[in-house]
Structure 1
Amino acid sequence: MVENTLTVGSISEGFVLDHIQAGKSMDIYKYLKLDKLDCCVAIIKNAKSKKLGKKDIIKIECPIDFMDLDILGFIDHNITVNIIKDQKIVDKQALRLPKKITNVIKCKNPRCITSIEQGLDHVFVLTDPEKEIYRCKYCEEKYHGR
């Protein structure tokens, strides 16, 4: 029997996004614009997880200061952010649902001011943390995408 394991080397400085819901790593790659960075990025999909069954992991070898933790919290607030220095985890950051997100999702309401005013920021506000419901700041259109 062949064991399905993959070894990805450690990183000296950067961060590891762990406990990503299986299949969500490419969304995170896109939202964080990791393709625009000039650093090493490793994406591990469908890794075994005791907690989740399967999970995705992203290892990024560059400073964390560019990263928008609000976007990560919006995509999946269960992700663990491990900060790495000298190949060791020096800090773990838990995420939360952001109270407000800007220019991450677009309002689908054709009558919303954001449809008419092209330069206006798309701002969504967390209106129900229990149900994870976001609404457009301008027209109150509910975000349907999760």
Structure 2
Amino acid sequence: MLYIDSISKGIVIDHITPGLGFRIFEYLKLDKSDFTVALIINAPSKKEGRKDVLKIENNIDLDLRVLGVIDPTVTVNIIRDEKIVEKIKISPPESVEDVMKCKNPRCVTSTEKGVIQKFSLLDKEELSYKCDYCDNIYNWEV
């Protein structure tokens, strides 16, 4: 059995769909961190069978909406003094800005500089979003 020590303060992103832990790790640029980070892949889960987990030994500013776009099944646990002081259930956000990029070459976001990329949730089950400017439909990608 593999054991990862508890953290004294920081964040645990739990119940990540297997395979998405590394995508979240990359998006949050945790490879460039100067604090301890543990990415656990395919850990046993009583609810789902398998899961990924990210343990971050630091309080970082997380955009929880982004986590809802990548994997709305995650739970974010805030840790202080080795105890969970807050549990946050994530869900897909109704809208996001500057999280995804529209790939339509005719979209105003492609032709004009400084236009904020805005997307609205189209389908909660499919996790599809549409560009607010050109209506192209996307799923989040790294």
TM-score by length of 2: 0.91
2:81 matched to 1:86? yes
Which amino acid in structure 1 is aligned with residue 102 of structure 2?
A: C
In structure 2, the residue matched to 1:9 is 5
Show CA shifts across 1:41-100 (max 9, x none): 100001111211111000001114x11100001111110111111011111110111111
2:98 matched to 1:127? no
User: Structure 2, unaligned stretches of length 5 or more?
Assistant: none
Q: For residues 135 and 11 of structure 1, what CA distance do their matches in structure 2 show?
A: 39
SS at match of 2:137: coil
2:125 matched to 1:117? no
In the TM superposition, 1:1-146 aligns within 5 A as: 5-64=1-60, 66-144=61-139
Cα distance, 1:131 vs. partner? 4.0
Show CA shifts across 1:79-130 (max 9, x none): 0111111011111110111111122211121111111123322211113335
SS at match of 1:120: coil
Which amino acid in structure 1 is aligned with residue 99 of structure 2?
A: V
Which amino acid in structure 1 is aligned with residue 91 of structure 2?
A: R
Q: For residues 21 and 139 of structure 2, what CA distance do their matches in structure 1 show?
A: 20
* Greater mean deviation of Cα atoms: 10-19 or 29-38: 29-38
State the Cα RMSD in Å: 1.6
Q: For residues 67 and 47 of structure 2, what CA distance do their matches in structure 1 show?
A: 19
The number of residue pairs the alignment matches comes to: 141
SS at match of 2:38: strand
User: Structure 1, unaligned stretches of length 5 or more?
Assistant: none
